[in-house]
């Protein structure tokens, strides 16, 4: 569970999740997520251990120019923790948070999940939840995760480098999403 500050939103914990949606915050390279993304996957893995019927959607395409989607790196990391591959669904098309939620929602609808639960970085929660609501997510839950920053690959290097930088980025991204009409 995340620590609280003025920008974060309190958790809305699911009673019995059947689907956990993990949005990548970045990866370091083709084989390792950043500290933030690892923390998200570990949190989802902990919930899966309590609810082993749940599927975990690893959500993010190749938005860092690595030649493979972040979801693949995330799925491989989840498997290394002990998560069965059969419980992982890779959403590999999205390039940003809006698309993460759009494409993950399509998977949720197709699979008929009843208690979708977002697993998001605490500093990302305000924007992610606002976008989910704008995209008509209904009856969903969320779990926020605290993590220190760590530089990701390429264009994500600065954006993910520290908590103060992540906070500034998320505030600016919120405004950007508003200007694009996504919020």
Angle at 156 between CA 153 and CA 157, to 5 degrees: 70
In this predicted structure, what is the pLDDT of residue 7?
A: 84
Task: Specify the 3-state DSSP secondary structure of 9.
Answer: coil
Kindly report, residue by residue over 96-136, the tens digit of the pLDDT: 999 999 999 999 999 999 999 999 999 999 999 999 999 99
Q: Report the candidate in 67, 72, 86, 71 with the shortest Cα–Cα distance to residue 22.
A: 71
Domain positions in the chain:
19-179
Give the CATH number of domain 19-179.
3.40.50.620
Kindly report, residue by residue over 26-82, the tens digit of the pLDDT: 999 999 999 999 999 999 999 999 999 999 999 999 999 999 999 999 999 999 999
Kindly report, residue by residue over 103-113, the tens digit of the pLDDT: 999 999 999 99
Give the gyration radius of the chain's Cα atoms. Answer: 15
Give 160 or 7, the one with higher predicted confidence. 160
Question: What one-character DSSP code corresponds to residue 119?
Answer: E
User: The whole model's pTM is what?
Assistant: 0.95
């Amino acid at each position: 569970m995340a620590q609280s500050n003025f920008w974060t939103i309190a958790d809305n914990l699911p009673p019995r999740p059947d689907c956990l949606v993990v949005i990548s915050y970045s990866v370091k390279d083709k084989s390792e997520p950043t500290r933030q993304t690892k923390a998200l996957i570990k949190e989802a893995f902990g919930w899966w251990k309590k609810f082993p019927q749940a599927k975990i959607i690893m959500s993010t395409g190749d938005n860092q120019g690595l030649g493979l989607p972040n979801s693949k790196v995330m799925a491989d990391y989840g498997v290394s923790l002990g998560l069965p591959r059969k419980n992982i669904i890779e959403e590999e098309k999205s390039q940003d948070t809006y698309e993460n939620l759009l494409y993950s929602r399509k998977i949720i609808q197709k699979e008929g999940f009843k208690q979708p639960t977002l697993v998001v970085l605490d500093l990302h929660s305000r924007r992610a939840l606002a976008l989910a609501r704008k995209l008509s997510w209904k009856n969903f839950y969320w779990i926020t995760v605290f993590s220190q920053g760590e530089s990701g690959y390429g264009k994500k290097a600065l954006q993910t480098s520290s908590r103060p930088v992540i906070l500034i980025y998320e505030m600016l991204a919120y405004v950007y999403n508003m200007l694009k009409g996504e919020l």
